[in-house]
Amino acid sequence: MTGETGVTGGLESLRGKVALVTGASSGIGEAISEALAREGARVTLAARRVERLHALAKRLAGAETLAVECDVRDEEHVKNAVARTLERWGQLDILVANAGFGYRKPTVEGDTAIWKDMIDTNVYGLLLTLKHGVPPMLERKSGHVVVMSSIAGVVATPGGGAYCGSKAAASAITDALRMEVGPQGVAVTAVEPGVVISEFQSVAGYAPDIVPNMLKGATPLYPPDVARAVLFACQQPVNAAINELIIRPRGQVYP
């Protein structure tokens, strides 16, 4: 169907697009990488755990992938991941800034070393990823940036102050970027998932009752659920942009 603007509806193909996904070694980043590869995109898999990246690349045999060690806290690592992507494929169409982790402790009990590591990853690492990953898109006046934030950046929870703060920062950074680069042809999407079952909970130190209390019997999300939503955002026609995407389990009420 053709609308008043003359633009034909329907989802755009991702075949032949070049994507860079940080935090691709597990969880949501791994699922997004797999989903993009299935759609025919060429994908740079970037993360600290290189052995996992190579295992993922092996599973994706038949797809065009490139595994690159990348700690987003290290500017040279980020610059290298972008440079190797451009050297391999000559362009960058989709940047998925997914690397990050969580931590739950009441504020007065928080481990300051973990706070610093988390903020360096979730905020500073995000800024580095955007600083070096977006310019190739601006040069071509096209592309799509996806930032993995969290519902925790929208709704604060007891014990989640530091993590919620880092994700509120991520959402604010994403919205500022949208205003900066949208007029230059680059779409920007903040993805804010609710409860997604992955390694995240064990890394964050969740007590056994935290997730059940959030879900109250609802069926949780899993990484492929979030990956489908990311694909949908990336497949929008050039005249449309999904700027913020909140995805919760259907029965999740809080947060």
Helix H, strand E, coil C: the string for the chain is CECCCCCECCCCCCCCCEEEEECCCCHHHHHHHHHHHHCCCEEEEEECCHHHHHHHHHHCECECEEEEECCCCCHHHHHHHHHHHHHHHCCCCEEEECCCCCCCCCHHHCCHHHHHHHHHHHHHHHHHHHHHHCHHHHHHCCEEEEEECCHHHCCCCCCCHHHHHHHHHHHHHHHHHHHHHHHHCEEEEEEEECCECCCHHHHHCCCCCHHHHHHCCCCCECHHHHHHHHHHHHCCCCCCCCCEEEECCCCCCCC
206 in catalytic set: no
Distance separating alpha carbons of residues 2 and 156, to the nearest angstrom: 42
Q: Which of 71-75, 199-203, 230-234 has the lowest mean pLDDT?
A: 199-203
Average pLDDT of 30-47?
Answer: 98
CATH of range 18-247; options 3.40.50.720, 3.40.50.300, 2.60.120.10, 3.40.50.1820: 3.40.50.720
Distance separating alpha carbons of residues 177 and 120, to the nearest angstrom: 19
Tell me the pLDDT band of 9, cut-offs 50, 70 and 90: low
Of the candidates 114, 132, 180, the residue with the CA atom closest to the CA atom of residue 22: 132
Of the candidates 60, 52, 59, 58, the residue with the CA atom closest to the CA atom of residue 68: 52
Distance separating alpha carbons of residues 248 and 242, to the nearest angstrom: 16
- Beta bridge partners of residue 10, listed in sequence order: none
Among candidate residues 103, 124, 163, 254, the one labeled active-site is: 163
> Domain residues of the chain, as ranges?
18-247
Give tens-digit pLDDT for 134-174. Answer: 999 999 999 999 999 999 999 999 999 999 999 999 999 99
Average pLDDT of 23-31?
Answer: 98
Tell me the pLDDT band of 10, cut-offs 50, 70 and 90: confident
